[in-house]
Structure 1
C-alpha cells in the first residue's frame, strides 16, 4: 500500500486547527485523528467532513505514551503531527521509528524543569537523531507559532539578507480578551510555568536567568491592544532552537508577553487564579500549577464560549524584531503579526492563538509530502532551507504578517 495519509495526535484546539489547514489541501487523501478522548475525535471528524467531503477521515482512541500500540496505527501513515503534550514527544517519536513515519511536533522544553517527568526536552529528542537518519526519516520539533514560525522568520531573514550573524532576536506577544469567565487561549499550565518561573534569556552562548525587575517592561503594540505590560518568559524553546540550528552566530534572544483579560493584566490574572485556589483551600497536594490551571476555562472550549457569548473579544499580536550584521552593515527587521477573532472565527475551530499555531506544521507536512524537505534526522524549523517559502505560504493562506527592514551603515 502506498502511504497517503497524515495523522494528528492530540485533537484539542491546536490539533483541530491544524487538521483544518490540512483538509484544505489535496495532498493527503486521508486523515487519521488520534486522541485519548474519543469525543474530541468524533467532534473534529464531523466538522472536517462538513468542510471537505472528499477527504477520508479515520479516528482512534489512543494513549500517545504507548509506542507499541501507536506504531501499529502508523504503518501506512506518511507524517505524524504531534499536537499533544511534550510528555508524548519521545513515545511518538519511537513509534515513528518503528513504523517508518516522518514526525512533527509543536514544542519541547529547552531544559528540564525540576519536578517534571523526563522526556520533554529537546536534548532527549536529539538523542534519537542518528536513528532517524539511519531510517531516512525526518523529525522536525517545535513547529508551532512560537517556537516554529519565529524560527522560520529568523532563518528567512538570515538567508534572504545574507547575514553573517544575529545581534539580537526579540519576540514579544500581547493578547486582549473580553470574557465573563477566567479564560486563556492556550494551556494555562504552560502560561503559568513560563510566567511564574524565573525569566530566562539567551546571552553569551547560553541560557541565563535575569531578575524580575529586568524582565518587566511596557511595550506599545498596534491598536486595538496599545500599551501593555509584558514579562520575559522562562524557558521558551527558541532559546535553543534558534542558536542551535541557525547556521550563523546568535548573541542575544528574549521572548516575552503580556495580556489583558477585561481590565486585568497578566500579573492580575495569575493573582486571580491564586485567589480562587485560596478560596478552595490554602493546602495544595501535588502539582501547584495543575491546581491553579483548574480555575481557568479549558482552551478547548474557547470557540464554544465565543459562540455562546461568554467570550466577546480576542485579539492576538506578536512583534518580532531581529537585528543582524552583514559585513559592516546592520539590518533591523521587524514583523508584526496580528489577528482578530471576529475576522477569522468562521474559518477556525479554536482561538486566534491556535489559528496562528496551525500554519507552520500544516505547511511543513505539505512540503515533506511534496518532496521539498529532505533533511533527515532531528532538526528544528530554523534549520530548514525552505524557510522563506514557508513564510510566503503562511501569508498566502491568510496569516497577517507586516514586515519592514532598515539598513544602518
Structure 2
C-alpha cells in the first residue's frame, strides 16, 4: 500500500519536515513543492541518497487552489509549511482532492476559528485537517493536554516560549518566519477567560512578567503575544479552566526594533506607491532579513517551549510544566538545522506517522490538543525531540 506526502513550502521548517518524514519505511513518495524550487531541488538530491522513496520536486503557487490541487491526485497527506495567509487556498485544494491537511500556524486568532469552521467540509471529504501543529502552537497544545490529563481540575494554562541564545548576525533577524514574527508580536495580544472568552490587550508587548525556565536558560522577561493556543485550549481542556495565555520571551533589542518598525509603518501589509512602484512595507523589511534556514550554525544557546498548567490533584495544588528544550549547536551538529525550525518541523511529521499507522482516523478540523498526547509524545521522543515534566505541589489552604 502506497503512502504519499506533499510538503508545501521548502524553507527551514519544510526542510526539517522532509528530512524527518523520509526516515520511515511507510513513505512511498515525497513531493517537495514551492513557488521557487532551488532549495527543494538541492534537498531532494540529498534525500535521494538516504531514502528508497520516490522524491519529486514541483513548482506550486500556494495562493492558487488549482496549482496546489494539481499535485494531490495520489497524495495521502499535505504538510503546509508555508506562510499562513495561504492556508485557505491550500485547504480548499485538500478538500477537493480528499487529502489530509496539516499546517503549523494560522494568520491570527480569528483566522484559526475560521479554519476550524471548515470542519463539515473536511468531514464530507472524509479527511482530517489539523490546524496549527508546529512547536507552538502544536507541541504546546499537546503538552497542555497531557498536563491537564494528569489533574483533577485545571485553573490556568500559560504557554511559555523562551530562548537564551545569541546569534552570529549583525542586524535584525527572527529564528522562524519573519513575516509571522513581525505580525504576531505587533498585533494586539490575545488571552482567554472562562467568563469573557477570547479577549485582547489594547497594545502589543502587554503585561510583561519574568518567568524561570529550566536550566540552563533561567529567568527571562516574557510578554503576552498574539497566538493560537489561547483560542482553543480553554474550551478543549475544560476541567474548570479559567484562564489561558501565551507568553514569549523577547530580547529588549528585538522589542525596540519592532516598535520602530511599527512607528514608521514598516510592519504594514498594505501596498504603498514608491516612485511609481507598488511595494509592501513589511515585505521590504523581510527581504532585508536572513531566512531562518540561513541561521543554522550561527545561533548559540537553548530554546524551550512548554505548557505551564496550574490545577489540583487528590486534594493538592499542582503546577506542571511540560516542555521540550534543545541546544541550537547540538541540533545543528546532529541534523544540520537550528533548533527553532527543528522543533517546529518534527511535531507535524509525528502526526503523519500516526495517520500512516492508523492512529489518527477521525475526520473534520481539529486543534492539536484533540490528538491523544501519549502516543504522540512517544513518537516525538523516538524522533529525538525529548520532552520533560517539572512538578510542584502544595497543600490546598481552605479559608473560612
Query: Which range, TM-score by smaller chain?
Result: 0.7 to 0.9
Partners of 1:127 and 1:208 in 2: CA distance:
19
Q: What is the Cα deviation at residue 124 of structure 1?
A: 2.4
The aligned counterpart of 1:32 is 31
Residue 116 of structure 1 aligns with which residue? none
| 1:137 has 2:127 as partner | yes
How much does 1:327 deviate?
Answer: 7.1
- 1:190 maps onto 2:180 in alignment: yes
Q: 1:294 Cα deviation (Å)?
A: 3.6
What is the CA distance between 1:328 and its match in structure 2? 4.8
Give 1:77 deviation, angstroms: 0.5
Q: Superposition pairs for residues 279-294 of structure 1, below 5 Å? A: 287-294=280-287
CA contact (8 A) 1:170 1:255 kept: yes
What secondary structure does 1:76 align onto? coil
Match of 1:92 in 2: 90
* Cα distance change of structure 1 residues 226 and 337 upon mapping to structure 2, 3 Å threshold: same
Q: 1:298 is matched with which residue? A: 291
Distance (Å, rounded) in 1 between the aligned partners of 2:307 and 2:144: 9
**Partner Cα distance (1:222, 1:405) in 2:** 12
Q: CA deviation at 1:232?
A: 1.1
CA contact (8 A) 2:8 2:81 kept: yes
CA contact (8 A) 1:110 1:123 kept: no
| Counterparts of 1:213 and 1:19, CA distance in 2 | 35
| TM-aligned CA distance change 1:54 to 1:225, over 3 Å | same
Paired with 1:4 and 1:79, the residues of 2 have a C-alpha distance of: 8
Aligned to 2:231: 240
State the TM-score, normalized to the length of structure 1.
0.85
The aligned residue for residue 174 of structure 1 is 162
CA distance in 2, matches of 1:173, 1:213: 14
Structure 1 residues 372, 312: closer, same or farther in 2, change over 3 A? closer
Structure 1 counterpart of 2:345: 358
Q: Verify: 1:267 aligned to 2:283, yes or no.
A: no
Show the 5 A alignment for 1:244-259: 244-246=235-237, 248-259=239-250
123-132 or 69-78: bigger deviation: 123-132
User: Using the alignment, how far apart are the partners of 2:152 and 2:73 within structure 1?
Assistant: 42
The whole-number CA distance in structure 1 between the counterparts of 2:237 and 2:191 is 17
CA contact (8 A) 1:139 1:377 kept: yes
Contact 2:17/2:349 (8 A) holds in 1: yes
Structure 1 unaligned spans of 5+: 113-120
1:250 positional shift: 2.6
Which moves more between the two structures, 31-40 or 223-232?
A: 223-232
The residue that corresponds to 1:396 in the other structure is 382
Structure 2 length-normalised TM: 0.87
Which whole-Å CA distance do the structure 2 matches of 1:331 and 1:274 have between them? 40
In 2 relative to 1, CA 24–256 (structure 1 residues): closer, same or farther, beyond 3 Å?
same
- Which residue of structure 2 aligns with residue 201 of structure 1? 191
CA pair 284-232 structure 1, distance change in 2 beyond 3 A:
farther
Q: Secondary structure at the match of 2:95?
A: helix
Listed as ranges, the gaps of 5+ residues in structure 2 are: 274-278, 396-400
**Is 1:346 the equivalent of 2:359?**
no
Q: 2-side partners of 1:277 and 1:314: how far apart?
A: 32
Check conservation: 1:167, 1:250, Cα contact below 8 A: yes
Give the 3 Å change call, closer, same or farther, for CA 294–27 of structure 1 in structure 2.
same
Q: CA deviation at 1:223?
A: 4.2
Once the two structures are TM-superposed, the CA of residue 82 in structure 1 deviates from its matched residue by 0.7
State the SS of the aligned residue for 1:73. coil
Q: How far apart in 2 are the matches of 1:325 and 1:312?
A: 39
CA distance in 1, matches of 2:74, 2:88: 20
Distance 2:334 2:314 in 1: 45
Supply the distance in 2 between the matched residues of 1:79 and 1:213 (Cα, whole angstroms).
37
The alpha-carbon distance between structure 1 residues 289 and 232, as it changes in their structure 2 partners (threshold 3 A), is: farther
Cα offset, 1:213, TM superposition: 8.0
Counterpart for residue 276 of structure 2: none
- Pairs within 5 Å for 1:306-321: 306=297, 311=298, 313-321=300-308
What is the deviation of 1:336? Answer: 3.7
Residue number in structure 1 paired with 2:45: 46
Please state whether the residue corresponding to 2:105 is helix, strand or coil: coil
1:218 aligned onto 2:215: no
